[in-house]
Structure 1
Amino acid sequence: MRALTWQGKGDVSVETVPDPRIEDPADIVVRVTATGICGSDLHLYEVLGPYLEPGDILGHEPMGIVEEVGPGVTALSAGDRVVVPFNVSCGTCWMCGQGLHSQCETTQVHERGTGAALFGFSQLYGEVPGGQAEFLRVPFGNTLPVKVEHGPPDDRFVYLSDVLPTAWQAVEYAAIPPGGSVTVLGLGPIGDMAARIALHRGAGQVIGVDLVPERLARARARGVHTLDLNEFGDGAADEIRRLTGGRGSDAVIDAVGMEAHGAGAAGAAQKLANVLPDAVGQKLMERAGLDDMGAFTIAVDAVRRGGTISIIGVYGGAVDPVPMMTLFDKQIQLRMGQANVKRWVDDILPLLNENDPLGVDDFATHRLPLEEAEQAYKTFQEKKDGMVKTLLIP
């Protein structure tokens, strides 16, 4: 089959690799019909090289048609249409029972001290082959895939793999009071969708902050009050306070996390880690890793006293400078974590209808053949061509 593989820092290519096969009675093999490029994929593209090997298959946002089922699978049959959540979660352990599928006890990567395995996401999360490919082996065939109806285009459902549940959790964790205000930092796919969900769920004021004109215009068209960081810079929090009666936003969603290209001292450390031998680079990232904390600093400044910060952007630093005194003094509630995809599916599925309240049908800015994935990664990384969300079609 053809699949998008990591070959080195800033280097991915579509190669011919062995087809996946049934390895466990509960496995299924899915013929992928659409698969997204995620901002987290850019972390692999640029930052997390020490945890990858040339040839690793990337991608964690696939859907498609069940091609083959293992002898232990009773919930699905060949020909069924499914979305594959990015958490590799069993659905039956204690953590999954608590709705914490990103902490699945069956697939936790104990040798790395991390949570549930993830499709296409390096040694840190199990080194499971990803879904930017023609075919994908999916474990836990009875409990992990989300069966969806035939008929509507893939765009209607594919975001159940990551974008929709991740953004939904960001809003849930933000605990926006009815009619209250929320500021979304970063209007990439997750921030954009989080803003849409916040409006749908009754937020009275949604403020979106970014510095890419196309992303700002896209959010503005959905009713978000946008702030261009190029214009406000260090004064962004002051403007947010002005817009919220001087008090600050009831909640702030940090949808940025660590910049995929690195910045400042953090970027220098990431670049160094990528040129060192893997074992040394991993130790540098794990013991001295540092993130650019710009978005988090704005969040702490812009949230009102007693408000909530919801972090859905991925951070990876081990020694990040967290302003604990300010967090304590302002009595800020802080919630964060990898999205628990299956926890939110039942809440979201009813919204994926002909009325399309969240705008999923035209959410993708680009739909490209899998063979063009290498150029798509470059364009997405450079924030060019108005690219916000790309679907690859094998």
Structure 2
Amino acid sequence: MRAVTWQGKRRISVETVPDPTILEPTDAIVRITSTAICGSDLHLYELFGPFLDAGDVLGHEPMGEVVEVGKDVTTLAVGDRVVVPFNIACGHCFMCRAGLQSQCETTQVREYGSGAALFGYTKLYGQVPGGQAELLRVPLAEYNTVRVGTDLPDQRYLFLSDILPTAWQGVEYAGMPDGGTLAVMGLGPVGQLAARIGVYRGYRVLAVDPVPERREMADRHGVDTFDLTDDIVDRLIDLTDGRGADAVVDAVGLEAHGNPGVKFAQQTVGLLPDPVAQKVMDTAGMDRLAALYSAIDLVRRGGTVSISGVYAGNADLMPMKTLFDKQISLRSGQCNVRRWTDTLLPLVEDEADPFGVTDLVTHTAPLDDAPALYETFQKKEDGCVKVVLTP
């Protein structure tokens, strides 16, 4: 089969690799019909080389058709149309029953002290071959697939794999009061959906992004958008009676604009031999925290900062005085996809399309175009907000 593979920093290629096979009786094989490039894939493109091997198959936002099932699979059949959540969970352990599928005790990657295994996302999360491919092996397939209808196009369902539940969880974790003001830092795919979810729930939504095309997209969905300027926090506080937003969703993460010194350090680590770089990233890694610092400054006293962007540093400097003095709550974590799918599935099937999922994809292309589109997405060129590949 053809698959998108990591070959080195900023080097992606589409290669012919062996077809996946049933390895466990609970597996299924899915023929992929649509698969997206996620903003967190760009961290692999740029930073996480020490935890990748050349040839690793990328991708964790796929959907398609079941073409084979293991002998113990009884609730899934060949021909079923399914979305595949990005985290791999069992559905019955303590964590899964608590709605924390991203911490599944059956698939936790204990070698690295990480949570549940993920598709296509480095040794830290199990080095499981990903879904930017023609075929995908799905472990524990009865729980790690979401059956969907056949009448609507892929784009209505695809984002159930990651970014829609991630955005929903980000807003849930924000703990918003009715009619409150929600700020969103970053208008990439997750930020776009978090902002729209805020509007859907009746909040006033203020969103910040330096890219005009991203602001224009959010404007279409009732979001008040702002450029990323040096005084943006002060400006938004002025718009909230001098108090700040009730909650802020950080949808940016570890590669925020700013922090040039940390950016240089991140790039330097990537030049070290993998065993050394892994140790440095594990014990002394730092993130670019400009977006998170802004969120902490922007949120009102007693408010919540909800972190949806990916962070990986173990030596980050946090403003503990400010957090304590302002009585700020922090909520964060990998999305628990299956916790939210029963809520979200009827909403994506609603003909009114309340989250505007049909107005998110800016680039659709064959699998072979993936290398160029990784670069376009990473550089935020050509108005790129969301890329979908069609194997």
Task: State the TM-score, normalizing by the size of structure 2.
Answer: 0.98
Aligned to 1:392: 389
Displacement of 1:263 in angstroms is 5.0
More displaced stretch, 345-354 vs 249-258:
345-354
Aligned to 2:168: 168
Deviations 1:200-234 (A, max 9, x none): 1121x1000010010011111111111101xx32x
Aligned to 1:339: 335
Aligned to 2:370: 373
- Secondary structure of 1:334's aligned partner: strand
Cα distance change on mapping 1:261 and 1:237 into 2, 3 Å: closer
Cα distance change on mapping 1:55 and 1:263 into 2, 3 Å: farther
Aligned to 1:89: 89
Aligned to 1:250: 246
Alignment partner of 1:68 is 2:68: yes
Q: Distance in 2 between matches of 1:384 and 1:256?
A: 17
Q: Distance in 1 between matches of 2:296 and 2:314?
A: 19
Q: State which of 298, 319, 324 in structure 1 corresponds to 2:320.
A: 324
The 5 A counterparts of 1:174-253 are: 174-203=174-203, 205-229=204-228, 232-233=229-230, 235-253=231-249
Deviations 1:303-347 (A, max 9, x none): 000011000101111111100110000001110000000000011
Q: Answer whether contact 2:34 2:158 (CA < 8 A) is retained.
A: yes
Q: Distance in 1 between matches of 2:257 and 2:136?
A: 28
Q: Answer whether contact 1:261 1:267 (CA < 8 A) is retained.
A: no
Alignment partner of 1:359 is 2:356: yes
Equivalent residues, number: 390
Alignment partner of 1:308 is 2:307: no
Cα distance change on mapping 1:311 and 1:322 into 2, 3 Å: same
Q: Distance in 2 between matches of 1:164 and 1:139?
A: 22
Cα distance change on mapping 1:262 and 1:10 into 2, 3 Å: farther
Displacement of 1:361 in angstroms is 2.1
Q: Distance in 1 between matches of 2:264 and 2:234?
A: 30
Alignment partner of 1:382 is 2:365: no
Alignment partner of 1:157 is 2:153: no
- The letter of the residue matching 1:277 is P
Displacement of 1:354 in angstroms is 1.3
- The letter of the residue matching 1:162 is D
More displaced stretch, 43-52 vs 282-291:
282-291
- Secondary structure of 1:171's aligned partner: helix
Cα distance change on mapping 1:333 and 1:260 into 2, 3 Å: closer
Q: Distance in 1 between matches of 2:257 and 2:135?
A: 29
Q: Distance in 1 between matches of 2:182 and 2:133?
A: 37
- The letter of the residue matching 1:310 is S
Seq. identity, % = 59
- Secondary structure of 2:110's aligned partner: coil
More displaced stretch, 349-358 vs 102-111:
349-358
Q: Distance in 1 between matches of 2:69 and 2:151?
A: 22
- The letter of the residue matching 1:180 is G
Q: Answer whether contact 1:91 1:101 (CA < 8 A) is retained.
A: yes
- Secondary structure of 1:39's aligned partner: coil
Displacement of 1:362 in angstroms is 2.9
Q: Distance in 2 between matches of 1:238 and 1:262?
A: 17
Cα distance change on mapping 1:251 and 1:262 into 2, 3 Å: closer
- The letter of the residue matching 2:208 is V
Q: Answer whether contact 1:35 1:62 (CA < 8 A) is retained.
A: yes
The 5 A counterparts of 1:133-148 are: 133-148=133-148
Q: Distance in 2 between matches of 1:255 and 1:357?
A: 20
Q: Distance in 1 between matches of 2:47 and 2:217?
A: 28
Q: Distance in 2 between matches of 1:293 and 1:142?
A: 38
Cα distance change on mapping 1:261 and 1:284 into 2, 3 Å: farther
- The letter of the residue matching 1:71 is K
Displacement of 1:142 in angstroms is 1.5
Task: State the TM-score, normalizing by the size of structure 1.
Answer: 0.98
Q: Distance in 2 between matches of 1:38 and 1:372?
A: 15
Deviations 1:119-176 (A, max 9, x none): 0000010000000000000011121100001121000100000011000000000011
Unaligned 5+ segments in structure 2 are none
- The letter of the residue matching 2:289 is M
